[in-house]
Amino acid sequence: MGTLLSIVGFVGFILYGILGIVSIFKKNGLFKKRLIISGVSFIVMIAGSSMLEPSDIEPAVTEAESSSDAADLDSSDAADDQTSAESTEKEVDTKTNESSEDIAAEKELSQEELDKKEIKEKVKSISKDYQTTTIQDIRVNEDLGKGEGYIVLIDLSFDIKNKPDTAKEMIDMYSNDLGANLADLETVNEVTTFWVVPYLQEDGNIVKYNMERVEGGMAINEEYYDPNIFEQ
């Protein structure tokens, strides 16, 4: 309602103001009447303006402010996105460098682990055909004396009931066979077998067989048979 009165009052004020000025020049006696109507129209315009609610005036300002805020927000979001992208890129580069270093370290370690795994699997493959023999443990140590290669320590049990001489013959045969086959692996420098024979002695090793690499294979370096059990 206030908007309508304001518009009608404004139009009447302008229209009859102009007509009043024209009446002065034409001298038709309508000047006074039109001046009064123009004045009334002005009052109506003022009254209508006073009736307008703030919501009828502020939308344009609010919309402009909203547009400005939206633009600022978009600009802020764009800056945040750029910062986030740069941060992500740096994290990716850092992780890539760390991954490369980890892979290089794993390669150095994995070669040693692969060597040891190959040796242990070779021992198991060789000994699976040894009748009445059980592997208790396989240890593969670095050969610190030579600075390269490995020393293989194998704990075995000869489980069948036999006389000492027969047990000795079988242990000799199996130990030499292990040494000869492990000589095929160039990384193996030394092989030592430790034997328990539960039928002859319940606990403890009673035989030690040590072999070292020489040109052409493995050679016996040391043999030990418990003198309390085996005849010398």
pLDDT for residue 42 = 76
For residue 72, give Cα distances in angstroms to 52, 65, 145, 181. 32, 10, 72, 78
Mean residue pLDDT across the chain: 81
Quote the domain boundaries for residue 177.
115-225
Residues in the chain: 232
Q: Look at residue 180 and tell me whether its pLDDT is greater than 80.
A: yes
Same-domain status, 121 and 199: yes
Same-domain status, 126 and 211: yes
**89 domain-assigned:** no
Same-domain status, 53 and 120: no
pTM over 0.85: no
Handedness of CA 128, 205, 229, 160 (dihedral sign): negative
Closest-CA residue to 208 (of 191, 187, 231): 191
Q: How confident is the model at residue 60 (pLDDT cuts 50, 70, 90)?
A: very low
CB 47 within 8 A of CB 5: yes
pLDDT for residue 36 = 79
Burial class (CB in 10 A: 0-12, 13-18, 19+), 8: middle
pLDDT for residue 107 = 62
Structurally, the chain folds into a number of domains equal to 2
Q: Please write down the long-range contacts of 221-229, taking CB distance under 8 Å and 24 or more positions apart.
A: 221/190, 225/168, 226/201, 229/164, 229/197, 229/200, 229/201
pLDDT for residue 72 = 61
pLDDT for residue 64 = 46
**52 domain-assigned:** yes
**184 domain-assigned:** yes
Q: How confident is the model at residue 202 (pLDDT cuts 50, 70, 90)?
A: confident
**201 domain-assigned:** yes
Q: What is the CA radius of gyration of the chain?
A: 53
The angle, 0 to 180 degrees and rounded to 10, between the axes of the packed helices 59-127 and 164-182 is 130
In this predicted model, what pLDDT tens digit does every residue of 65-84 receive, in sequence order? Answer: 555 565 565 666 666 667 76
Give how far the C-alpha of residue 168 lies from the chain's centroid of Cα atoms, to the nearest Å.
56
Largest Cα separation within the chain, whole Å, is 160
Same-domain status, 143 and 214: yes
